[in-house]
Amino acid sequence: MHQTPQITKKILAFDIDQTLNIAKTPIPPEIAELLVKLLNYFEICPISGQKYEQFLLQIVDKLKEVGVSEDQLTHLHLFAAQGTQYYNYDIAEHDWRQVYNYPLSDEDATKITSALQESAEELGYWEADQLAPGDEIIENRLSQITFSALGQTAGTEAKYAWDPDMKKRQAIVERCQTKAPGFLYEIGGTTSINVAAPGMNKEFGMTHLLEELQVEKSAVLYFGDMTQPGGNDYPVVQMGVDTITVRSHEDTAYALRGILGIISALNK
User: Any contact of residue 17 with Mg ion (CB under 5 A)?
Assistant: yes
Q: What ranges make up the beta strands (E) of the chain?
A: 11-14, 43-46, 77-80, 85-90, 95-101, 138-140, 144-148, 184-188, 192-196, 220-224, 242-245
Give the C-alpha separation, 162 to 230, whole Å: 19
Between β-strands 192-196 and 144-148, what pairing exists: parallel, antiparallel or unpaired?
A: antiparallel
User: Any contact of residue 186 with Mg ion (CB under 5 A)?
Assistant: no
DSSP for residue 199 = T
Question: In whole angstroms, how close is the CB of 166 to Mg ion at the nearest point?
Answer: 12
CB 46 within 8 A of CB 54: no
Question: In whole angstroms, how close is the CB of 76 to Mg ion at the nearest point?
Answer: 19
Question: In whole angstroms, how close is the CB of 246 to Mg ion at the nearest point?
Answer: 9
| Count of residues making up the chain | 268
User: Any contact of residue 225 with Mg ion (CB under 5 A)?
Assistant: yes
For residue 186, list its beta bridge partners: 194
Interface with Mg ion by CB under 5 A: which range of 18-26, 89-97, 102-110, 236-244?
Answer: 18-26
Binding mask 105-144 for Mg ion (x = CB under 5 A): ----------------------------------------
User: Any contact of residue 190 with Mg ion (CB under 5 A)?
Assistant: no
Interface with Mg ion by CB under 5 A: which range of 2-10, 17-25, 197-205, 250-258?
Answer: 17-25
Which residues bind to Mg ion, rule: CB under 5 A? 15, 17-18, 225-226
